[in-house]
Structure 1
Amino acid sequence: MSADVVTLGCRLNIAESETIRALLGDGDAVVVNSCAVTAAAVKETRAAIRRLRRERPGAELIVTGCAATIDPAGFAAMAEVDRVVANDAKLAPASWGSTLPAAPPPRFAGHARALVAVQNGCDHACTFCTIPAGRGASRSVAAGAVVDQVAGLVAAGHREVVLTGVDLTSYGHDLPGAPTLGSLVERVLRLVPALPRLRLSSLDSVEIDPLLLDLVTGEPRICPHLHLSLQAGHDLILKRMKRRHSRADAVALVERIKARRDVAIGADLIAGFPTEDEAMAAATRALIDDAQIVHAHIFPYSSRAGTPAARMPQVPPPVVRERAAALRARASEAKTAWLASLVDSVQEVLIERPGVRGHAGNFAEVRLSAPLEPGTLARIRIDGATETYLLGSPS
């Protein structure tokens, strides 16, 4: 059987998995690229390992990624696992038996959208997060290498490229001259004029530099969609999380953006963080309206061993689940109303497999009345909306 890679977690993992796939060759091996962002993600990783061993009893089963890096002994002890590869070695050709001198850039063959990892690691110390332990210090990819990779993906036919990283807005501080993410984005757009659509992965709102803000709100080739790492809507909880923005900062940023361009706002939000009371939970629910969030990723707080938050007074698990459900319900209402507001508009949609669905620039999912060629950008008239996606036809 051919080698395969199973990916859990973030867009950075997805990008790295494509490189691993290119390095694996044709041997009978399966790689699990793991996630550790929550306890549920680690549990899902372990379940995937057990399932894959049942499906591929003769394959070499290798585990890499954040969960395997944070707890290598735990994963190595699993009977199903043959080998563990830490994050700092996951893109080394030798880790996968390849004799290539360097890892090739991922190509995303068969996918409409391509990802480019421009940054890795994180220098911050949010009290709930284990990712710095799995990814190490923040480090950036030189702008020239990013431009070359984007140009290669465009030449291969990709119509949308997503810049991604662990802490994307920290890009550049470790490079000569300390360039910003804004300067990188400007350089990509200028030097790859054939790129139709550039999307940005999750951003830390406090690190958005002035040039980046100008580009997001004024450059039509940048998708009108920003996903912000907000986490909570109450200042005391933000302080206990060791976030660097206030609630007012987040709302003001969105107001500045919206005053200049109709940008769809996404956000990560955590329900049931330690010490959270009902008033604090209500403030986070209200942030969905106040920050006009239409793409919300809701996470029930997950205690992670070794983090400061794990030593704080915990919210009872049933209460965490109730607050997460209430937060999801409010987010769903906001998204449904937003989708309804887009009916009768015309959206530029990237057509994805199998050709009857795609995503608009604002990241609304669009399902088509008739198939179009996957990988193309098409003007789609929005004829209707459901609670979760739009219905459209070619305009």
Structure 2
Amino acid sequence: MPFSSPHVVSLGCRLNLAESETIRSLLTGRDTVVVNSCAVTNEAVKQTRQAIRRARRERPDAELVVTGCAAQIDPQAFAAMPEVDRVIGNAEKLRADAWAPGEAVVVQDIMAVRDTAPHLAASFSTHARAFVEVQNGCDHRCTFCAIPFGRGNSRSVGAGAVIDRVTELAERHAEVVLTGVDLTSYGHDLPGKPSLGQLVERVLRHVPQLRRLRLSSLDGIEIDDRLFDLLTQESRVMPHVHLSLQAGDDMVLKRMKRRHGRAQSVALVERLKAARPDIAIGADLIAGFPTEDEAMFANSLALIDDCDVVHAHIFPYSPRAGTPAARMPQVQPDVVKARAAKLRAAAERRRSAWLQSLVGSTQEILVERPGDRGHAGNFAEVRHGPSEVGAIVRLKIERVENGKLMGVDA
């Protein structure tokens, strides 16, 4: 018997998660499974293939469509999989006409795309928080990254459209996340070149009913004074900054073609913590980048403490075809794996100490499914007694248990 509702498997970033909601709304009533893929690493592409095979086993009679960055970069490889019925590109996946019966591969040149829009469903039925796409694509060419070839060049959504979408979502969601591929590049392509800080100011001013605003990953070098002040002084902006650090060694950063140095990252975090002591720092870090020696790795390892990273995303480097880093002298895979493990262990120690420091504090928690857990403003996960999903509750933190905070009504 066919299923009456679509199923969307979302892999990778928060932007994919946001776009998956739109896809789900476009496919209402259809027996379709969509794998919204990620291409940030070779492991992510492998996980995409695994998700496709698992989806086919679980719903053998459904139409199976692959979209997302991995599908955009290598559509023919996914079209060749026997489990796959159709492949749809990143630019097309948010258009209703692309989902009508048609060609097996619908993928255009992503570099030719010049606009974007907050193509999101009016409500995020399966999530306590909602996501709004305000920017897509990336104009930078970090030597390790294939994502620009999956997302195209940077393009921004006008503030009016963003405010309209946030207003809609704030009726049902206490927290909204502004997201993008290169979020801090927001606005350079719009009339007047508004900054991300200006956008945040306008959202807060025009949507007073919005209780919590969170930002996805930021490039620290582009945090200007306006955005800094909002991150540290505005109570409705959550005390949680996730930085795209990638490494803690200047030579590695130069070879990555990043635009910041180690000292700039450390200084930024020191300023953030001085202005808002409860702010929590997250970061992306890559282990085993080509040419990385032990001294270079030691600098990245020390960055976890130097930048007080409590929400770490650790990626073992993997060469992506067509990127400059893939042609550089590679670190041995076993060394890459060992260094990633050391970074994760250091990050876990830092996180554990931070969680313990929160015991005895009172936190406001956004309740998430199934109703007995949620995240504080600093994005610490908290377990608690049953509450209404989507509500914000005040909890006193009693203890840490299995890496999670345990809270009771304050």
Specify the code of the residue in structure 2 equivalent to 1:60: E
Give the RMSD, CA atoms, in angstroms: 1.2
Is the counterpart of residue 381 in structure 1 residue 381 in structure 2?
no
Tell me the secondary structure at the aligned position of residue 88 of structure 1: coil
Deviation of 1:393 after TM superposition, in Å, equals 0.4
Superposed CA deviations along residues 51-91 of structure 1, whole A, max 9, x for unmatched, are 11111111111110000000011111111111110111111
Deviation of 1:104 after TM superposition, in Å, equals 5.6
Superposed CA deviations along residues 153-208 of structure 1, whole A, max 9, x for unmatched, are 111x2000000000000000000000000000000000000111000000000111
Superposed CA deviations along residues 291-311 of structure 1, whole A, max 9, x for unmatched, are 111100000001101100000
- Contact 1:23–1:103 (8 Å) recurs in 2: no
Residue 74 (structure 2) aligned to one of 67, 71, 82: 71
- Contact 2:18–2:120 (8 Å) recurs in 1: no
Equivalence for 2:114: none
2: CA distance, partners of 1:127 / 1:183: 30
Tell me the secondary structure at the aligned position of residue 36 of structure 2: strand
Equivalence for 1:35: 38
Equivalence for 2:104: none
Deviation of 1:387 after TM superposition, in Å, equals 5.5
* Alignment of structure 1 residues 1-395 onto 2, 5 Å: 1=3, 2-97=5-100, 105-155=121-171, 157-262=172-277, 263-368=279-384, 370-386=385-401, 388-395=403-410
- CA 1:338–1:309: 2 relative to 1, 3 Å: same
2: CA distance, partners of 1:266 / 1:119: 21
1: CA distance, partners of 2:207 / 2:184: 21
- Identify unmatched segments of 5+ residues in structure 1: none
2: CA distance, partners of 1:59 / 1:367: 37
Equivalence for 2:108: none
2: CA distance, partners of 1:367 / 1:140: 37
- Identify unmatched segments of 5+ residues in structure 2: 102-117
2: CA distance, partners of 1:387 / 1:238: 35
Tell me the secondary structure at the aligned position of residue 354 of structure 1: coil
Superposed CA deviations along residues 32-57 of structure 1, whole A, max 9, x for unmatched, are 10000000000000011111111111
TM-score, normalised relative to structure 1: 0.97
Superposed CA deviations along residues 248-272 of structure 1, whole A, max 9, x for unmatched, are 0000001111111021000000000
- Contact 2:19–2:119 (8 Å) recurs in 1: no
Specify the code of the residue in structure 2 equivalent to 1:160: E
Tell me the secondary structure at the aligned position of residue 91 of structure 2: helix
Deviation of 1:105 after TM superposition, in Å, equals 3.4
2: CA distance, partners of 1:140 / 1:105: 18
Superposed CA deviations along residues 209-238 of structure 1, whole A, max 9, x for unmatched, are 211101110000000000000000000000
Tell me the secondary structure at the aligned position of residue 252 of structure 1: helix
Tell me the secondary structure at the aligned position of residue 331 of structure 1: helix
2: CA distance, partners of 1:259 / 1:231: 23
2: CA distance, partners of 1:218 / 1:126: 32
Tell me the secondary structure at the aligned position of residue 213 of structure 2: strand
Deviation of 1:103 after TM superposition, in Å, equals 5.4
Q: Number of residue pairs matched?
A: 390
Structure 1 segments of 4+ aligned residues over 6 angstroms from their partners: none
2: CA distance, partners of 1:356 / 1:193: 28
Tell me the secondary structure at the aligned position of residue 67 of structure 1: helix
Deviation of 1:322 after TM superposition, in Å, equals 0.3
1: CA distance, partners of 2:329 / 2:347: 27
Deviation of 1:110 after TM superposition, in Å, equals 3.8
Tell me the secondary structure at the aligned position of residue 169 of structure 1: helix
- Contact 1:121–1:167 (8 Å) recurs in 2: yes
Deviation of 1:376 after TM superposition, in Å, equals 0.7
2: CA distance, partners of 1:329 / 1:211: 35
- CA 1:272–1:45: 2 relative to 1, 3 Å: same
1: CA distance, partners of 2:230 / 2:94: 32
Deviation of 1:386 after TM superposition, in Å, equals 3.4
Specify the code of the residue in structure 1 equivalent to 2:236: R
Deviation of 1:25 after TM superposition, in Å, equals 2.3
TM-score, normalised relative to structure 2: 0.93
Deviation of 1:97 after TM superposition, in Å, equals 2.5
- Contact 1:22–1:106 (8 Å) recurs in 2: no
